[in-house]
Structure 1
Amino acid sequence: MAEPSAGSSRELSAAPARLVVLVSGSGTNLQALLDACADPAYGAEVVAVGADRPGIEGLARAERAGIATYVLPVKDFASREEWDAALMETTAGHAPDLVVSAGFMKLLGPSFLARFGGRTINTHPALSPAFPGTRGPADALEYGVKVSGCTLFVVDEGVDTGAIVAQTAVPVEDDDTVETLHERIKVAERAMLVDTVGRMVREGFAVEGRRVRIGR
């Protein structure tokens, strides 16, 4: 996250928090947030959904819900830096209080994190700092751990290395395959995301170095 020593926070507000959700695929985490936001007591609304490729179900979910969308494929830009700057500017146009990377399969770069560092969160299907990267469930199963799970973290420049907001443990069964373990992790991940985002927007939060505190 940009300037981690300075910390970041969101204070309480009477208005619903504005969420921008970034997706690359089916958008099941997005749908969980949309369902939660349908209750005014949740304290947030999804104001826009961004993607790095067109024609995905995540965008279709947003369009069915009447939510603004934008698509910025990396290949449409001369460099990754130009793409990152464009993603930052387009996201900023929706004035988010919190950015949720929900299955967004691109690393966010310096321009984006300079603007939204400390208030961009992502999930990972393992208990960080163990098993970072795209093979979390497979690596956990191959290593033989008895407990895996999922992590919600503040996005920084690394791969699944940001300050941890929340974690949920998922037992590994003796007959698990990568698919069965990952499916149970995804169920836990959706519940963790909805619960924690709700708490963050209703109670406020602060990021202070490696520590994330929810509530005053």
Structure 2
Amino acid sequence: MDASKFTIGVLASGRGTNLQAIINAIETGVVTAQIGVVISDKKDAKALERAKEHNLPTFSVDPKTYPDRAAYDASIVRVLTEHQVQLVICAGYMRLVTHPILEAFQNQIINIHPSLLPAFPGLHAQRQALAYGAKISGCTIHFVDAEVDHGPIISQVSVPILEGDTEESLTNRILIEEHRLLPRVIQSYVEGKLSVEGRKVFQNGTP
């Protein structure tokens, strides 16, 4: 690891497609940072395989081996701190981030969610949107707080819901936009362009 470079930590539970988007952006110079560690709550997560393919440090933590969620998250903080992480990315991380992480990384944790928040928070956002009859969906990147998909919104991109869309087809189109948006937001953070006042996020002083 290069001690002079801005360091990102990634939390992931699944396939790791957003992790791959970050890796690609770093390799092409779109994001001027390095990934210090990739952490998963699932030892067989595809995200860990992707990380190992790129020689990135990985850490798998089984929540069942801890007495409670706070103890589990405290172990996450230790790993992030050991790897000198400055920004935490929740990229398909399916656990609620709790007090130990929030306290250690205040306004240093971002999440990407497949809806235009505050609409359709939580699990299966695409399914929720289709069931509700929504005409527009999209993705949201926001700072993480103690509530689910609730923190201050950094950026959003809309994706139209098409006639005949399924959960899979809508998910795939939203993912395309996620993979475009996430590196841009990370780079804005790396460059010190983002600031938070209450629920508003400013970029270069502009909301």
Residue 39 in structure 1 maps to residue 21 in structure 2: no
Residue 180 in structure 1 maps to residue 132 in structure 2: no
2:139 paired residue among 134, 150, 153: 150
Q: Any unmatched runs of 5+ in structure 2?
A: none
The structure-2 alpha-carbon separation of the partners of 1:214 and 1:17, relative to structure 1 and needing over 3 Å to count, comes to: farther
Task: Report the counterpart of residue 214 of structure 1 in structure 2.
Answer: 203
Distance 1:46 1:16 in 2: 10
Deviations 1:9-48 (A, max 9, x none): xxxxxx4321101111111100110011113463111111
Q: Any unmatched runs of 5+ in structure 1?
A: 1-14
| CA contact 2:31–2:186 (8 Å) conserved in 1 | no
Residue 74 in structure 1 maps to residue 63 in structure 2: yes
Counting aligned pairs with the same residue, the percent is: 36
The structure-2 alpha-carbon separation of the partners of 1:69 and 1:29, relative to structure 1 and needing over 3 Å to count, comes to: same
Query: What amino acid is aligned across from residue 154 of structure 1 in structure 2?
Result: F
- Runs in 1 of length 4+ with deviation above 6 angstroms? none
Task: Report the counterpart of residue 76 of structure 2 in structure 1.
Answer: 87
Distance 1:28 1:141 in 2: 23
1:204 paired residue among 187, 190, 193: 193
Residue 22 in structure 1 maps to residue 17 in structure 2: no
Distance 1:202 1:44 in 2: 10
Task: Report the counterpart of residue 111 of structure 1 in structure 2.
Answer: 100
Distance 1:44 1:128 in 2: 27
Residue 128 in structure 1 maps to residue 99 in structure 2: no
TM-score, structure 2 as length reference: 0.93
Q: What is the count of residue pairs matched by the alignment?
A: 202
Query: What amino acid is aligned across from residue 32 of structure 1 in structure 2?
Result: A
TM-score, structure 1 as length reference: 0.89
Distance 2:30 2:67 in 1: 44
RCO greater where, 1 or 2, for CA within 8 Å and sep 6 or more? 1
Deviations 1:68-113 (A, max 9, x none): 1111110011121211111111111111111000011111110110
Deviating more after overlay: 196-205 vs 69-78 = 196-205
**How far 1:140 moved relative to its partner?**
0.9
Residue 60 in structure 1 maps to residue 44 in structure 2: no
Distance 2:26 2:36 in 1: 11
| CA contact 1:200–1:215 (8 Å) conserved in 2 | no
Distance 1:143 1:114 in 2: 36
| CA contact 2:30–2:183 (8 Å) conserved in 1 | no
